[in-house]
Chains A and B, each alone.
Chain A
Amino acid sequence: MSSTYTRRDFLKTTSFSAILAGTSCMAGKLGSLDTPMFDDINKTVNTYCEMCSSRCQVEAKVKKGKVTFIQGNSHSKGMNTSICARGASGHSQLYDEQRLVKPLIRVGKRGEDKWMAVSYEEAFNFISEKLSKIKKEYGAKSVLFSAKTGEQFNHLATFTSLFGSPNLFSHVSTCPITYKVAFHHTYGAGLKRDFSNSKYILNFGHNLFEGIAVSKTKKFAKAVNKDSCKLVVLEPRFSIVASKADEWHSVKPGTDLAFVLSLIHVWLRDGKYDKEFVKNYTVGIEQLIESTKTTTPKWQEKITGIKAEVVERIANEIYAAAPSCIIDWGHKTTTGQSEFQRTRAILVANALMGNLEKEGGLFFGKKAKTVNKIANMNIAPTISNPDKHIKIVKDLRIDRASQKGDNIFVSRKYGVLMDIPDAILSKKPYEVKAWVMTRTNPLITVANPEKMKEAMNKLDLIVVNDVYMSETAQIADVVLPEATYLERDEGIQDISSKAPAYMMRNKVVEPINKTLTSYEIFRTLAKKMNIDSKYKWDNINSYRAHQASGNIKLLEKLAKDGYVSFGIPSLLYREKSYVDKFVEKYPSASSNLDENGLFTKMIKFKTPSGKIEIFSQTIEDAFPGYGVPANHDMDVQKGYPYIITSGKTAIHTNGHTQNIPYLNMLMSDNPVWINPITAKKENLKNGDKIFLENSVGKEKATVFITEGIRPDTLFVYMGFGRDSKELKRADGKGTCQSKLLPLDKGPVCSTMITNTGVKITRA
């Protein structure tokens, strides 16, 4: 017998109840202005999206001065006209009445939501006076700066350095830090995945069908839809990716490390790995043999819940498909304490299969500089960073990132957001007085927001730059409205893959109410504070011209098409057919060929040994026992009956889009997934209100009973459970998982832990 559980509940379906139009409009939001005037322009602009961090190339249509339709930019082959729901909703954010369009200075108490709308000039005067005073009394390092990575982050980083503070933070510690650190210590640099040609993909919850990046998603969807490609997914919940798999194994959260160690055990036990590759390109296989001696398929069975035979079979299948196989490290996946070991084990597993620079495997990005070197001539223009000479301040940071201790492997550009509350509250290593941030909302996206808020309330100055009145903006002293990406010109971005490519953001319409972009905000502030003598540029056009070293043709092409590639054939150093095509087009490249007619000389690992480090002495020295992938820290339950995990939906981006009209109309809530067995045990029915509770906090939730989750695990989509009453559509709806997360960090890479134990109590 099979019963049907529908997930329609997540989508709000056709209904005729009109929403209540917001009648009270806070001064400062778009709704408080008279209807904006639109000029009579009809045009199409090619640019790139910022509704999430994937930054897909898009085309925006303007009718009578108003953006009416957004689709993929067909100049970019990987995109064609495709886009995702969030990307297609860009204009719904742009014209949202609840969007901020005037700078605000707080007049009441913190969090009281009393504001005075001011001009940018007044806001800049206020900020620069306060910052100068704090800098004079407590030193520049007493001011923190943070932003989501991207071009805005780079401009903020420059400002931070000129201001003199070492305390720069990106969002990386809350998301992609693990694979960044793991790659650095294994291959010396990051790699890319050739999904299109792969014959076997082992996926650990890398969620490209919900955490969308359009061109990657398209390649992945088409590859796994072919009979010639097998997809195996290990994930606690039945996600969309799991639903497209040939096999899904509902692994216990945090334990997939055991599965990978056991795969490695089988390969090493049976001698089924690329011995030639391992001999030529790696160090540390002996240590790996030693550390995986006991990690047998039987051993992992008890830990992961996956049968030993399954591991044996999958190990053989992958070896048979190698090197056309991908063991996918994901983006941010299980995220317990074992995350670093798991990711390192995956990277090592790929090395054993010898899939580097092979079709259907892994490859290095081929930027202009690299292909020019191979071709021995300039076949693609290079771009440079106009702020390169402005160096990050190397003072003691509050989180001691890149200094001896827990965070030694964390770059000074990333920092560790989870270390901020303790540093502020303990005043160690020194006092923090202010926090300046752009497009980041730590009160939703970072663990233990209660503690974060307590710490923030100790500060003398909080400056928030955002499109919406976020939770964090609510407790700020100054809120600067930011021009959305459709209202911004920006610099050139390198997006090279198997061949070089660039994209550029082009303004689609003039900013509503003349809101400023974040580069204008920080460039102006720098000028005002007299710390701008090192800037080589004044406005975005001079910034772009510096990037392109005066290459007008390149700039013109990017201004028109938003994207440019150079007709250079795709290159994989160890694939004969790819190398031949490249040499045929650029005969001068032949001097770089090896005796097999390949470009193996071009394979270089920026690690201490110059090889792929299966064993890393650097890690071992700093974190004894972690130098080689081994069995560590797989418990995420911590004595509670259930594990709560979170993940993405294709309809929203982290903590940013929940209030955007089009997207809110599709999904405005995130009920918690509970298996029927669990529901029965806890005596719950669909729609019941419950609390999820642990030592960190207690958070309300609505029950959604589904077969698509393990009985010991609960799941919510991230970014809901908002509490800013200015986000009128999203406020108060759903569950914020962050409120249950401890400020713990994963060892070695300092990643935020997002799987944790909870119990269920009745509301």
Chain B
Amino acid sequence: MKKKFRMIHDENLCIGCQACSVACRSENDVPDNVFRMQVQIETKGIFPDLKMNMQRHSCVMCEDAPCVTVCPTGASFQTKDGLVQIDHRLCVSCKYCVVACPYDARFMNPITKNIEKCTFCYSNRVSKGLEPACVTVCPTDALVFGDINDTTSEVYKKAKESNLLYPKANLGTKPKVAFVPNKKGVSYE
């Protein structure tokens, strides 16, 4: 069966520590001062009734991917496992995809001038049976990754027991990164 990859970010377990972001930088040689992924922390409410949300900011691997649709050279493409990748030999750095991506996930590598984004560490890790670097290092196991068709996998179990949401679901891009929304707010008497 074709693999159906999912990454789940549990906002209740996430502590916004950025270990994922640093591991991504090391694993993928991300140049200084640009990021393939970060977790952004947002505090909401009026003192003392507050809530803090942890949002993963990265490519969400759309099934209906606008970046692929607009790419004039076919450099942006989908693997047979449904992961969106960039073939740098074909990319002409026209930046259509950067503009088309509704998740603000793409950027130009300031050194190579290539367009880059989160790849789920596909060629360097996932295709070798490893997890993406961010998932590997997360100190609270807030990230879970795997083939959701495999009923023995962690990601299958996590998906079953959680209420999954998809970022900007209204756009219909069908992302493969899901999140478990933050349940914790603060009750104060």
Contact = CB atoms under 8 A, between A and B. Distances in A.
Interface in A62-96: 68-72, 80-85, 87-89, 91
B34 interface: yes
Interface stretch (B19-27, B61-69, B82-90, B167-175): B19-27
A601 B184 CA distance: 43
B50 A221 contact: no
Given A18-B33, A676-B47, 5 more contacts: A13-B38, A16-B33, A16-B108, A18-B110, A71-B137
A209 B34 CA distance: 25
A650 B136 CA distance: 18
B127 interface: no
B14 to A, nearest CB: 9
Contact of A666 (B21, B110, B137): B21
A222 B41 contact: no
Interface stretch (A508-516, A585-593, A704-712): A704-712
B182 to A, nearest CB: 8
Contact of A707 (B46, B57, B110): B46
Interface of B: 12-13, 15-19, 21-23, 25-27, 32-35, 38, 40-48, 50-52, 57, 104, 107-108, 110, 133, 136-142, 184, 186-189
B189 A5 contact: no
B43 A6 contact: yes
Contacts of A242: 186
A52 to B, nearest CB: 12
B43 A238 contact: yes
B136 A662 contact: no
Given A238-B50, A250-B47, A662-B25, A71 B15 contact: no
B48 A250 contact: yes
A217 B140 contact: yes
Given A12-B33, A221-B13, A2 B44 contact: yes
Contact of A15 (B34, B57, B186): B34
11 contacts: A5-B44, A6-B40, A69-B23, A82-B139, A243-B52, A244-B184, A247-B187, A250-B48, A650-B17, A708-B47, A709-B47
Contact of A248 (B15, B16, B110, B188): B188
A16 B107 CA distance: 9
A2 B48 CA distance: 12
Contacts of B26: 68-70, 88, 91, 662
A245 B47 contact: no
Nearest to A67: B26
A311 B52 CA distance: 25
A72 to B, nearest CB: 7
Contacts of B15: 209-210, 217, 221, 240, 244, 650
A81 B34 contact: no
A6 B45 CA distance: 10
Given A69-B26, A212-B17, A225-B13, A13 B40 contact: yes
B125 to A, nearest CB: 10
B18 A85 contact: yes
Nearest to A239: B52
Contacts of B21: 85, 666
Given A5-B44, A218-B139, A247 B186 contact: yes
B69 to A, nearest CB: 23
B35 A13 contact: yes
B133 A69 contact: yes
B137 A88 contact: yes
Contact of A11 (B18, B48, B104, B110): B18
Interface string A308-321: 01100000000000
Contacts of A662: 22, 25-26
A14 B107 contact: yes
Contacts of B184: 243-246
A675 interface: yes
A307 B46 contact: no
A8 B108 contact: no
A626 B184 CA distance: 39
A218 B13 CA distance: 9
Nearest to B140: A221
Contacts of A18: 32-33, 110
Contact of B42 (A6, A245, A310): A6
A165 to B, nearest CB: 40
Given A218-B139, A225-B13, A71 B23 contact: yes
A247 B188 contact: yes
B18 to A, nearest CB: 4
From B16, B27, B57, residue with most partner A Cβ within 10 Å: B16
A662 B21 CA distance: 10
A82 B108 contact: no
A240 B186 contact: no
Nearest to A313: B189
Contacts of B17: 84-85, 209-210, 212, 650-651
